Chains A and B, each alone.
Chain A
Amino acid sequence: NAGVTQTPKFQVLKTGQSMTLQCAQDMNHEYMSWYRQDPGMGLRLIHYSVGAGITDQGEVPNGYNVSRSTTEDFPLRLLSAAPSQTSVYFCASRVGQLSAGELFFGEGSRLTVL
């Protein structure tokens, strides 16, 4: 079972460049989300989705876009990268928004914006 798969694991960007972080899960989970992890800040929710075609903003959505065309995939787009977006990004999924079940996390994507 692959679980939650994120690519790439590492990426270096220049300010203003765009890129997409990929996230795929094979557990048929309705709920998917993106977090960023920064030292001393814990995990902060960027965007989430409760099902295909449905997305919503989290705590820190500015500078990021998401879409959910299929149940399996939930890509995170940075349209114009800024140094403040240097972080480790985690994709996570759960059975459903209303589910009390645990979140399953991907391995993380470390992004550096120069």
Chain B
Amino acid sequence: AQSVSQHNHHVILSEAASLELGCNYSYGGTVNLFWYVQYPGQHLQLLLKYFSGDPLVKGIKGFEAEFIKSKFSFNLRKPSVQWSDTAEYFCAVKGNNRLAFGKGNQVVVIP
């Protein structure tokens, strides 16, 4: 079964700083890739997803992610964060009909 690695579990940064969260997975076959966001006290919501085509995916709220097949990575980026981006971010990988989540990145944006 595939596994998903997210590094730097806790990230603290100031407003307007750039954010990049790494996601690496272990499955070698065809994958579908997702980033979910969980705002404080809320349920998980889809931020963006990659199925095929352009490896640079744009999601909601100015987030984007790049699929690099050779590196088994799907890193999430935002050029300039806001206080409202404080949340936990989860990478998820679907391969061989199984969906696996990473352990999440807790992001705190300081005003």
A positions within 8 Å CB-CB of B: 35, 40-45, 90, 92, 97-98, 100, 102-103, 105-108
Contact = CB atoms under 8 A, between A and B. Distances in A.
Given A40-B103, A42-B90, A43-B101, A100 B45 contact: no
Interface residues of B, number: 21
B74 interface: no
A42 B104 contact: yes
Q: Would you call the interface of chain A mostly helix, strand, loop, or mixed? A: loop
B99 A108 contact: no
Contacts of A40: 9, 103
A42 B36 CA distance: 12
Contacts of A41: 103
B50 to A, nearest CB: 10
Interface of B: 6, 9, 32, 34, 36, 42-46, 49, 51, 90, 92, 94, 97, 99, 101-104
A91 to B, nearest CB: 10
A90 B44 contact: yes
B70 to A, nearest CB: 21
Contacts of B46: 102-103
Given A40-B103, A42-B104, A90-B43, 15 more contacts: A42-B101, A42-B103, A43-B44, A43-B101, A45-B99, A97-B97, A102-B34, A103-B36, A103-B92, A103-B99, A105-B44, A105-B45, A106-B43, A107-B43, A108-B43
